[in-house]
Amino acid sequence: MSERSLNHFGYELLELNLNKEAIVIFKLNIVHHPKSSNAYDSLAEGYLSIKNNKLALSNYQKLLALDKENGNAKQAIMKLTTSI
């Protein structure tokens, strides 16, 4: 499946409150598209949905390593760093 298809499916699962299932799909997306900053962003959001801030932070940091100009990641990292 394409990166976009996996990502879309993961967000559909989040909308249905199937958060853990969405995380599995987002992880699969990273396996197949490891250089996609968007895939790490989605996984971070998945972890936020289950209130796992440490794993969300880790994935935002991975996103930022791939896309150093990503303002959303920078903002999320600042917010999560102060809440952990």
pTM: 0.94
Residue 45: per-residue pLDDT? 97
Question: What is the pLDDT, as a whole number, of residue 20?
Answer: 98
50: left (phi over 0), alpha (psi -120 to 50) or beta: alpha
Give all domains of the chain, ordered by start, each with its CATH number. 3-83 (1.25.40.10)
pLDDT at 22: 98
Model confidence over 28-69: pLDDT tens digits? 999 999 999 999 999 999 999 999 999 999 999 999 999 999
